[in-house]
Structure 1
């Protein structure tokens, strides 16, 4: 497997994981209407990205729906909604803040992979990959902006509440 194929697989797995993480956060924080609805929409974006990556990879003869690749394993966003047991169960505002942080880190990881793919596509003059990154990367950046905004809006109150 060459580097581009490895990156396509890694990005596909990252987008699938991010979709699952957004969905889990939406369900866990269903009472927070903005969180629930926006996270559900953003999960749809990541699922669409994964589908577009799989389609593009299939055109290169690569099946991305197989076993996930472990090349970039252990990066943020690979374990959605986990919390070390020795800390006990956090209060809902802290839980939400932690989940938003995890979402942000996973989206940032995907964003870096999109950027790597875009630079490679430019260097190799691969219009198919360049078109893919032009369609998908801006939405990943919007996912990051949303999580960043929510963290800024919620952190002071969540961290100062008893």
Structure 2
């Protein structure tokens, strides 16, 4: 597996994870209309990214299900830290649950953003115009996912954390 295939594989898994987690958050917080609708909408972006990454991977000699080799990939594939629920922290309080969900989504989006940037850089180096176009098209949406989660965290954290 070459570097391009490695980054494509990491991004494919990261975007799959993001789409799945956004859908879970949208469902879990369906009574909060803004969270539900925005999470549902931006999950569609990640699903589209997954499809486009699969197509790019097949054009570049890989498959989206390729398993990266050890070494460099071990650090690149490291998942964001587990949320409070996986750390044994409180998750039964709905506002705290939402804040924790947004935290996890923000870390996942940041993880993907870093890899979109890596893909753009390796695409430039390899003169792979199609991959540069892909990264230039998809990365701004990932940045918007990050911006949304960050804004929601800023909005919700003062009242949620002050009431503990």
Instruction: Give TM-score, length-normalised by structure 2.
Output: 0.89
Alpha-carbon offset, residue 89 of structure 1: 3.3
Cα distance between partner residues in 1 of 2:85 and 2:42: 22
Structure 2 residue aligned with 1:47: 47
Cα distance between partner residues in 2 of 1:60 and 1:131: 14
Change (3 A) 1:161 1:122: same
User: Is the counterpart of residue 86 in structure 1 residue 96 in structure 2?
Assistant: no
- Please provide the CA RMSD for this pair: 1.8
Cα distance between partner residues in 2 of 1:86 and 1:137: 33
Change (3 A) 1:123 1:68: closer
Instruction: Give TM-score, length-normalised by structure 1.
Output: 0.90
Alpha-carbon offset, residue 74 of structure 1: 3.2
Change (3 A) 1:124 1:74: closer
Task: Determine if contact 2:4/2:123 at 8 Å carries over to the other structure.
Answer: no
Structure 2 residue aligned with 1:155: 157
User: Is the counterpart of residue 3 in structure 1 residue 3 in structure 2?
Assistant: yes
Structure 1 residue aligned with 2:145: 143
Counterpart among 114, 122, 125 of residue 124 in structure 2: 122
Q: How many residues align?
A: 159
User: Is the counterpart of residue 96 in structure 1 residue 98 in structure 2?
Assistant: yes
